[in-house]
């Protein structure tokens, strides 16, 4: 089951980059508005389905407060950061920075829940991050040290931190046996409402772009990227922990590169092959079950 959830997250979220690109290409919609419609559609779909299936659970006021915080962290502000960063740095470099979610989650789990990371996280993360750097080494080499680059790196790092905080809140929900689909639905709704308020304050019109490409990309991002992707991911967080679940972020660029090879003529260089091997090795280190007497914990 864990493997199926892991693969679902990688495949779904690995394809959302193209959908985001297509949505931005279809219309010059403000970022706040684009994020608003994505999560409004996703949250309403989830809430209606859960109500029809009689699976919508009751949450108390404190739970709703944490759903509000979760919505702002992982269904709102982090996407604003990533959308803006994509205009400043290459998506390859952005993927490198987003891969830091592995380390953010390990450290935040230690800080908030006193979960000491397994020793194998260090070599696994080192192999995975090294593999991502190798995959995008040419992008990194071509990047110029300029204010725009620094802003892009900073926004990507901030967005990744928001994603990690959202992981911690989801862990909190599941430790209190709150239904992951219910908390996700309300968090998405609150994230959408936060984006709507900010868009109106910014003077942006909330009307969606009425063309097939924009609506199709938004629907894919909402239904697959948000409803299915986040549902699978946060279920995985509850089953194996935020640190190990976040390791799936190291595989997103592989899916994107595969699609780019098929549809955009991406050329595989020697550094890309080295990166692929390192990432697969990191997965093996992270998920192989070691004998009990060899398991070590960080002091």
For residue 277, is pLDDT > 80? yes
For residue 209, is pLDDT > 70? yes
**Of 183, 187, 4, which is closest to residue 79 (Cα–Cα)?**
187
Three-state DSSP class for residue 297: strand
Specify the higher pLDDT residue, 197 or 289: 197
CA pair distance 3, 72, nearest whole angstrom: 29
- In terms of residues, how long is the chain? 299
For residue 12, is pLDDT > 50? yes
For residue 283, is pLDDT > 70? no
Any idea which of 92-101, 103-112, 213-222, 282-291 has the lowest mean pLDDT? 282-291
DSSP state of 266: P
Positive or negative, the Cα torsion across 13, 118, 298, 120? Answer: negative
Percent of the chain residues past pLDDT 90, beyond the cut: 38
For residue 214, is pLDDT > 60? yes
130-183 pLDDT per residue, tens:
877 787 777 667 655 567 777 888 898 899 999 999 999 999 998 999 998 999
What does the pLDDT read at residue 296?
38
For residue 298, is pLDDT > 60? no
Q: What is the mean pLDDT of residues 2-8?
A: 84
Distances (CA, A) of 272 to 133, 134, 237, 278, 297: 9, 6, 29, 10, 32
For residue 48, is pLDDT > 80? yes
């Amino acid at each position: 089951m864990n493997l199926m959830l892991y693969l679902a997250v990688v495949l779904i979220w690995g394809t959302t980059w193209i959908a985001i690109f297509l949505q931005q290409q279809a219309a010059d919609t403000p970022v706040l508005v684009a994020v608003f419609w994505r999560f409004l559609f996703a949250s309403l779909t989830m809430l209606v389905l859960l109500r029809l299936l009689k699976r919508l659970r009751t949450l108390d006021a404190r739970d709703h407060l944490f759903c509000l915080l979760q919505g702002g962290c992982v269904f709102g502000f982090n996407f604003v950061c990533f959308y803006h960063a994509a205009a400043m740095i290459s998506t390859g470099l952005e993927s490198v920075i987003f891969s830091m979610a592995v380390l953010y989650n390990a450290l935040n789990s230690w800080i908030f829940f006193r979960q000491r990371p397994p020793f194998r996280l260090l070599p696994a993360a080192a192999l995975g991050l090294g593999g991502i750097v190798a995959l995008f080494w040419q992008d990194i080499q071509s990047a110029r040290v300029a204010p725009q680059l620094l802003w892009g790196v900073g926004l990507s790092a901030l967005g990744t931190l928001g994603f990690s905080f959202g992981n911690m809140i989801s862990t909190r929900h599941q430790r209190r046996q709150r239904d992951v689909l219910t908390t996700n639905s309300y968090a998405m709704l609150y994230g959408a409402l936060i984006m709507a308020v900010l868009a109106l304050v910014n003077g942006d019109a909330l009307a969606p772009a009425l063309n097939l490409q924009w609506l199709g990309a938004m629907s894919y991002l909402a239904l697959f990227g948000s409803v299915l992707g986040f549902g699978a991911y946060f279920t995985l967080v509850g089953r194996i922990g935020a640190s190990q679940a976040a390791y799936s972020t190291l595989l997103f660029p592989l899916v994107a590169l595969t699609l780019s090879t098929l549809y955009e003529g991406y050329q595989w260089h020697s550094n890309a092959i080295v990166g692929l091997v390192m990432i697969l090795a990191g997965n093996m280190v992270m998920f192989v079950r070691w004998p009990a007497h060899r398991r070590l914990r960080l002091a």
